[in-house]
Amino acid sequence: MINKLISWSIHNRFIVILATLGLIGYGFYSMTQTPVDAIPDLSENEVIVFSQWMGRSPQLVEDQITFPLVSNLQGIPKVKDIRATSMFGMSFVFVVFQDNVDPYWARTRVLERLNYAQKFLPENVVPSLGPDATGVGQVYWYTLHAPGYDLGERRALQDWYVKFALQNVPGVSEVASFGGFQKQYQVTLDPHKLDYYHITLMDVMKAVKENNNDVGGRVFDLNSSNYIVRGMGYLKNPAEIADLPVATEGATPIRIKDIGDVQMGGDQRLGIIDENGDGEAVGGVILMRYGANADEVIKGVKAKMTEIQKGLPPGVTFKTAYDRSTLIEASVKSIEHTIIEEIILVCAVILIFLLHFRSALVVMLSIPIAILTAFILIRLLGFSSNIMSLSGIAIAIGVIVDNAIVMVENAYRHLTEADN
């Protein structure tokens, strides 16, 4: 069989060369299209369901949210396991699917069950899916260097400008903000004044909610012209909240400022972010989508940051806290250096011992062809070019070279004996 294959290849050199060129071309295309990352993704194929019920104890969250969700998510096709954890005010359910399941198909199945499970949950509790990213999806961290701006201003800049712009980068699943204070209006009530005026906490909450709304009207026709009538009632500053009436005593309105104070403050924080011991920092974490090219995503994020920088206030700049592209580029360059060294070493060995350039050329060409063939299989199987796969290729080159040297030396010996 091998003799026939060799004989056919010798008599059909043009077809062999054409097939080899096609293999090289497709292999090069596969190499450029294969996602590049530093580390392999060994995380499980899971969908995270997150629910929030602030102020409730872990046991209450477990009984009212986690248990109903886990019970109703049972029976989804191709599910390996369902895990859950409850903590103060929050619930996490991890639905682990089989490895060969498409992640977006899995998210769709979970959403279908959540629509049914919603009716078993407390009022105003809406479960949501986590980002479509894996456990190694954090590819880039950044902070906002903003001298002269407080933590609330930095967080507002991050949440309302930077975050929305970076989420448009292809391959980005989510931009998770961290640090600083999330601004909010805070109403501090005096319980003695509430008791004196016979006002409850629910009365105050109802008054604020009902007075923070735009009201739609109708079109008013006057002199053949249409005028749109609407009521604009969104609250814009603490003073407007303080002037809201809650109740009346006789003909005198009782306002919020009569029973408490209104101020601009920060939401409750569960932790802080410190940067190199220089104080608190505000920034974001870039999460990459399933199967995205980490190197391309990071390059897109950096290019987008250059555009965003033009719209930032004076003195505000980006600082990189973690950049995986450094490790990616270092690993790729290391493999390239190793391959070049092996090609040069093999050619030198053959030239020294055989003194035959064409024999060295055969071995030298077999190395890049084998590598490109490996990239075809990597891309078809859905893997990425990472430290593990590239190191495997580098190690396998030794086996490829060994076989090629043995075959070339054997052929060269037989040809020399035949000439003699």
Is this structure's pTM higher than 0.75?
Answer: yes
Domain identity same for 116 and 255: no
d(CA 298, CA 302): 6
Query: Who's near 310: CB < 8 A, 6+ residues apart?
Result: none
Q: How many CB atoms lie within 10 A of CB 116?
A: 10
Are 296 and 397 found together in one domain?
Answer: no
Q: Are residues 92 and 152 in the same domain?
A: no
How many domains, in total, are found in the chain?
Answer: 4
Q: Are residues 178 and 304 in the same domain?
A: yes
The CATH number given to whatever domain includes residue 362 is 1.20.1640.10
Q: Has residue 8 been placed in a domain?
A: no
Query: How far is Cα 160 from Cα 256, in angstroms, rounded to an integer?
Result: 29
Rounded to whole angstroms, the Cα distance separating 149 from 137 reads 30
Q: Examine residue 373 and state whether it is found in any structural domain, yes or no.
A: yes
Digits of tens for pLDDT over the chain (420 positions)? Answer: 777 887 887 788 888 889 889 988 998 898 888 888 877 877 889 999 999 998 889 999 999 999 999 999 998 999 999 999 999 989 999 999 998 899 999 999 999 999 888 888 998 899 999 998 888 888 999 999 988 888 888 998 999 999 999 999 999 999 999 988 888 899 999 999 999 888 999 999 999 988 888 887 788 887 778 888 888 888 888 999 999 999 888 888 999 999 999 998 888 887 788 888 888 889 999 999 988 888 899 999 999 999 999 989 998 999 999 999 888 888 778 777 877 787 777 777 777 777 777 777 777 788 888 888 888 888 888 787 777 777 777 777 777 777 777 777 777 777 777 766
Write out the residue range of the structural domain in which residue 49 sits: 44-133
Assess whether 116 and 258 both reside in one domain: no
Are 253 and 395 members of one domain? no
